[in-house]
Structure formats: structure tokens, C-alpha cells
Structure 1
């Protein structure tokens, strides 16, 4: 009974202490109102106009849907009506005056001949200085100056040097070719002397000769065997002779 009374008293004491107990830090004051945060305040300030449904601007909306296919074909018809139709170009009849072609050619050839004659006359008379006064006003005197002579001689000298260089090059190539051929011959002769093996042509000839000899030997052996076989068959008695014996 004493122990039971003691347990009851302990339980009652614990209940009293629990009722009279207080938390060391009051957490009710530390809680912040979520509506008082800075982020929520700025959000409300920025998006506050959305809550106001009395807008002053109301755009016009066309509820009807246009027929795009019909609009396209209407545009095509309109462009066809606007298109300018150009008339085709028609060739006009004309006449080729080919009959006058020979006369024109004759006149041109005569003009060329006259100009050549005048140039020859001017060249012949340009060699003599006193004859310059007798030339007509349309012809110009032709002089061969020292510069032209030097230029011609330089060109001639350059061409001759070029020809000589080409000849020397051809001669050098032929000489080198002959040297190469002689060297190749000497190398081949020395290689044949030092190399115990025979050339391909010689080996081919020997092989062909050997093959022919082998073929002849085989044919001889075949003929010999054939003759022996025929002789055995000839000397062999018939079947009825073997039975009677």
C-alpha cells in the first residue's frame, strides 16, 4: 500500500509540474508574419495592377476568321488583271543589198593597193634627204635611226644565243644518253659475269626445251604401253577356250 500510494503521489506531482512548466524562450514572438516579408511586399507592389480589373484600354477583337484560300485566289485574279500583256515582236520585211558587195570589195582592194604604193614610194624617197620635199602632204617620211638598228641587232643577237643554247642543250642530252647506254651495257655485262644465275630468256628457252623433251618421253612411254597391252590382248585365249581347257 505504501508503494502504491507513493506511485500515485509521483504521478500527481508530475502532472502539477507539467501544468506549471513554461518554455525558456517564447517562440511566439519570433514567428514572422509571411505577409510582412520584403519579397512578398515587392511582389504585391509590382503585381498589384493585376488585381485591379477596371482597365481603361480595351482592344477591339474581330471574332470572324477570314477564308485564306479565297483571299489567295482573289489576289491571283487581281494580279492577272493587272498584268500587262506585251505584244510579240514582229519582223518587218527587208531587202539584202548583196549586189553591191562586189563593188565594195573592189573599192576596198583598190584603196589597199593605193596605200601600199604610197608607202613604197615614201620608203624609197626617205633614203634621200633632198627627195623629202617632193613627197605629198599625206605621206610621212620613214627613217631608220640608230636606235632601231641597235634594237634589231640586239634582237638578232639574242635569237642567235637562244638557238646556240638550244643546240648545246640537245647535244648535251644526246651525249648523256650515249653515256647512260654505254654504262648500262657495261653494268649488264659485269652483272652477267658475276651473277651465276642465267637470264630470264635463257631460262625460258631451257624450260620450253625440257617440257618438249618430257612430252616426247611421255608419248613414247604411252605408245609402248599401248603396244604391250594390245599384244597381251591378242595372245590371250578366248573364254570358251579357257573353259574347254
Structure 2
């Protein structure tokens, strides 16, 4: 009865409005899907509403809004719910109602808002703020208050301090310089304290001291050479008699030169190359003497010569010349290798010149190798050359160095000769040992030699061929 009453109370409001509700999604059963002919009254209502919508499309938008607002008026969910609870499942009435309800039984989901949306809406209504929002607002208020306080303050510069006007820069620089010096001295002392001399430095010092002692013992006291000082020119040279005497001497000198040249010209002879050429020319002249006037005279021979005999003799001479062949006689080569001078003397001379001229190349580069030579005038040098003065002495270090070079060359030569002898002896021993080993190997070898093996194999092959 209640369901019928609810239907009666809800129907008039639903039927009053000509606008039908929106097409809601329906869940069809298997029986509805299987028979295509079975159509529910809801399909018919949908078609009618679609036709009405097409007809009312030309209406105003206000009318449409009113319809949308009144669309849910008088809506009742019980119209769409099946009445299965009141009838028993075993009764035939229940089966018929179930079949009828299967024809159109749409299930509608009623949307409900989420709890979070309801909670948020309540908070907005109550103006409830979160903790972070409260903190942010407090911070903003604090900043605003601080800015207002700063804006209200008045700027006033502090006075310049009196220490600025004092000249402290020079004092700071002096302090830095003193500190730098003290640090440098301290580091130097630390390095000297940690430093240890090398062994080879002490050894070199000892060697140098020993050499100096030996040189002091060996070196003889040399006489100090006095500087040359020319005597003044005598006054008698400027007299006219001296001039006449010089002219006479010059004349005598020219006469002597001329006489000597004439004597050399008389005693002179051509060089060997020119003499050979002249001797060859003389021989040719002797072989081919100049024709005399008497030979040019005509000699008439009464008898005619036998040309056939002369031709036969000439042919015989030709044959004899062809048969006899001149052989080249081998002569020994005249090589001049033993006469070539060795470069040993030149090398020693170059070493001596280097020792005299070159600068000192060893530490401490204090002085040159040779003693500085005194500069003399041209007259003094002429007198020294004519007088046959002594050449400058070689220093002790140069003499010892030359002696060391000679000794080293001699030792090298002896070593080379010894090595050559040892090599020749070793070769001779090797040859002897090879002969002995070969003889013993042949004696102890049970196998036959290759020659015997080849002979035996040849015999066997020949036997097989037969």
C-alpha cells in the first residue's frame, strides 16, 4: 500500500512536466539483450522526449533553464526499485513480477559528495586556517613591522676615526720587511744545519791538496824575466858619413844579388818532367833526320821491280804478325803507403797548441792555461829572431798532460796487439779441437758415413731393377 501511495503521490508531479529526465545509463539483463523484439516503455518515453526536444529547440534559453531546475521535482527512487521483498521466490506471482521487472529494471547510482569536499566546505564556512598559513601570515606581519621601523629611523654617519690620519703604512711595510729577513735567516740556518757535505767533495779537496804538494816539490824556482828596455839611439847615426856608408852597402848588396842570380842561371837545369819530354823529342829527331838536298835528286832505275814477290813478302809479314801476340807482363805495384807520414805528430802538435792558446775549461776558470806573453817592439823581435833566443818553456801541467796522452796511446796500442795475439791463438786452438773432436766422433760413431750409405743404396736399387 505504501509503495502504491508513494507512486500515486509522485506520479502527478512527474506527469505535470512535459520535459522528460536525461537519458540515464541502464544495465540490461541477459533476457533483454537476447530478444530484440522486447522493448520497454522507457524506450518509448525516450523517443517521445527526443521528439519533444527537437520541437522545443526553437524555444528560449530561459524556458530551458526553468525545465532543468524543475527536472528533479517529484522524483522518487522507489519507482525504479523492483518489489521482490513482498513476494516469495517460490510463488508464481513472484516469478511473473520478476519477469516483468526484467523487461525494464534500470539501476541508478546516486552521486554523493566525498568527505574531504564536505570538510573543506565546512572549513571555508567557519574560516578555519591551517598551521602553515598562520605561520606565513605571522612572518609577513613581522617583516612589515620591521620595514616600518627601519623606515622611521634616520641615517646618521659615524665620525671618521682618528687612527685613519696616522701614517701607519710605512710602519707596516718595515715590520713586513723585518719579518721577511728574520724568516729568511731562520730558513738559511735550518738548511745549513740539515746540510751534509758530499763524499766526493772531500775526496776532490784531498786530491787537489796532494797535487799542490807534489807540484811544489817538483817545481824549480824560475828566474824572473826582466822586461826589455831599448837603449837610446846614438847620435853618430845622424851624421852624413853614416848615410854614405848605408848607400854603399846597398849597392854592394845589389851587385851580390845579380852575381848570385847569374851563377844560379848557369848551374840551373830543367825539372825531371821537362827533361823526359826533351829527351823524347831528341830521339824523334834522330830517328827522322832532316832530308838533304842530295836526296831530292832523281834516281832513275833501269830495272822494273817484281811486284808479285814484294806482295808475297808483305803477306808473309802480316801472317807472322797475326800469329805472334804480345803478352802483357805483370809488374809489381809501387804503392806508397809506407812513405805516407803518420798523423801522430800533427795530433800532438794540435794538443800542445790547444793547451797554449785555449782558455781554461775547468773550475774555477780563474786564469788561462798559458802564461801571458809580453808585447815587444818589432826591433826587439827582429833581434830575438836573429840572435837565436830560446823558445818559451812549456808549463808543468801541459808537459804532464802530453805525457799522459802519450802513455794512454801506448797502452791502447799494446792492448790492441795483445787482443790480436789472443784471438789468433784462440782460432788455432779451435781448429785443433775441431780436428780432434771430428776424429773421435768418427771413431766412436757406429753408423756409416754418407758416402758409404749412398753407395749401398745405389747397389740395392740396381739389384731391384734387375
Q: What's the TM-score, normalizing by structure 2?
A: 0.17
- The higher relative CO (CA closer than 8 Å, separation ≥ 6) is in 2
**TM-score after normalising by structure 1:** 0.30
